[in-house]
């Protein structure tokens, strides 16, 4: 549900909130498929070298079709797509009362967290990409 703090001075949901909600949807999907967030994202622990890969965002885009206001309820659909051995895109569709409100795409690339060079996706992310697409 859209909260007052999610809106701007015009009473419309601010665009960055939609990106935040989409990222939270991705995090929930990872957890649903048994992936601990601390195994994917850096933490404040001293030794973060346990991460096989880092997954920076290299591109994001959004198309807005209708505004959202305080009290609106929305559903967020996630359809991830593996692009190649080193990258994937998270495709989101935000829906209110059966109508498209927004579409958002967030592209990630896999890099070695130490060298910062592109590398293959982790086994966990590959498994999540595969499993999460079985239900569609």
**Beta-carbon count within 10 A of 72 CB:** 15
> Hey, what are 71's tokens?
């009290």
* Angle at CA of residue 127, ends 124 and 130, nearest 5°: 150
> Hey, what are 9's tokens?
């001075």
Assign 74 to helix, strand or coil: coil
Distances (CA, A) of 31 to 24, 25, 66, 87, 124: 11, 10, 30, 20, 11
8: annotated active-site residue: yes
DSSP 114: T
Query: What angle in degrees, to the nearest 10, is found between the helix axes of 123-134 and 15-32?
Result: 90
Query: Which among 8, 52, 72, 97 is annotated as catalytic?
Result: 8
What residues are labeled active site?
8
């Amino acid at each position: 549900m859209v909260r007052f703090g999610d809106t701007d001075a015009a009473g419309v949901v601010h665009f960055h909130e939609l990106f935040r909600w989409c990222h939270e949807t991705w995090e929930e999907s990872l957890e649903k498929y048994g992936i601990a967030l601390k195994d994917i994202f850096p933490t404040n622990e001293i030794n973060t070298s346990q991460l096989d890969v880092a997954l920076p965002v290299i591109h994001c885009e959004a198309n807005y079709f209708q505004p959202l206001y305080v009290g609106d309820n929305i559903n967020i659909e996630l359809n991830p797509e593996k692009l190649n051995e080193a990258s994937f895109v998270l495709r989101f569709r935000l829906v209110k009362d059966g109508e498209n409100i927004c579409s958002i795409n967030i592209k990630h690339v896999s890099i070695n967290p130490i060298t910062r060079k592109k590398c293959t996706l982790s086994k966990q992310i590959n498994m999540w990409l595969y499993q999460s697409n079985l239900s569609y």
